[in-house]
Amino acid sequence: MKISWFDSANEVSTAVENADRARQLGLYRYWAPQIMNTDPMVVLGIVAREVPEIRLGTSVVAMQTTFAQNLAAQARTINQVADGRFTLGLGTNHEPIMTGAYGQPWTKPYSHMVEYLDALLPLLSEQKVSVSGEFVTHHCEINVPGPAPDVVLAALGPRMLRLARERTSGTLTWMTGPRTIAEHVRPEIGDQAEVIAGVPVFVTDDQDKARRVANVQLAIYGQLPSYRAMLDREGMNEPADMVLMGSPEEILGQLDAYRSAGCSEVAFNVLGRGDAVEGAWELARLTGGSH
């Protein structure tokens, strides 16, 4: 099982430093999310030029934020700079965000994703497409030399997992524990697909305090229906139940469950500050990039 680093830097220089530190520790990949901090496509384009060897990926870009043509051009551009090291992690946004923050309708996310892939995948591979759909219509092309990037799909429900199996290289999960991966994700996606688990880690010697902090930082995931369903399936009451906590050595042992569940890769999403972050880097060092 490969070990990677998930990072949400708000300064590009920090992202470059962290990606290079992950590379030096032998980690497999450096993931950047699309949230409120620096733009992952811009950041990873710079990281690709500045930091050699380590693989790069988005975890994840929401399909509703950009036309498939634009995303394909961005993804191929990063992969050109990275000499084929880039993976496009793609997903859907969440209903409360789409309707509340953006004032956009939330309609048939699965069907929308199918149509989005109908446009995106040919643009990534052949660099041209002609499709007409209910949600996505594209009659266009791009011209970005270099290899086509790999694609993985953030999928939790059965239909989205099967879509990931049929049309991409695998899935990215978040707040999804080893029991759920073993009993739900892996059976739906099959033996050949990648299962990349984003896992929250909190290196601490005060787990009671760490749980309080984690429940604040991760509160939204106990409320969003798709993640709440994963917590329920895992038998977890609150988000902190999903966090791997303790010393680096203790957390190292806790990773065994993810390997046994069939994960091909685990990406550390680090909680806490200061010593907790340095402790997570020590955990990364102990793994040597795999477990």
DSSP structure class, residue 244: E
Global pTM?
A: 0.96
Locate 200 and state its tokens.
């929250």
Q: How far is CA 198 from CA 106, 114, 180, 285, 291, in A?
A: 25, 24, 13, 18, 15
**What domains are defined for the chain?**
155-291 (3.20.20.30)
Residue 35: the pLDDT is: 86
Residue 216 has pLDDT above 90, yes or no: yes
pLDDT class of 250 with cuts at 50, 70, 90: very high
Comparing CA positions, the residue from 261, 271, 85 lying closest to residue 173 is 261
* CA distances in angstroms from 59 to 88, 132, 269, listed in the order given: 8, 28, 11
User: Does 177 have pLDDT greater than 90?
Assistant: yes
Q: Where are the beta strands (DSSP E) in 39-185?
A: 55-58, 61-62, 86-91, 128-131, 138-141, 150-154, 170-174
Please state, in angstroms and rounded to a whole number, the distance separating the CA atoms of residues 282 and 263: 22
User: How large a percentage of the chain has pLDDT more than 90?
Assistant: 91
pLDDT tens figures, 80-107: 999 999 999 999 988 888 888 888 888 8
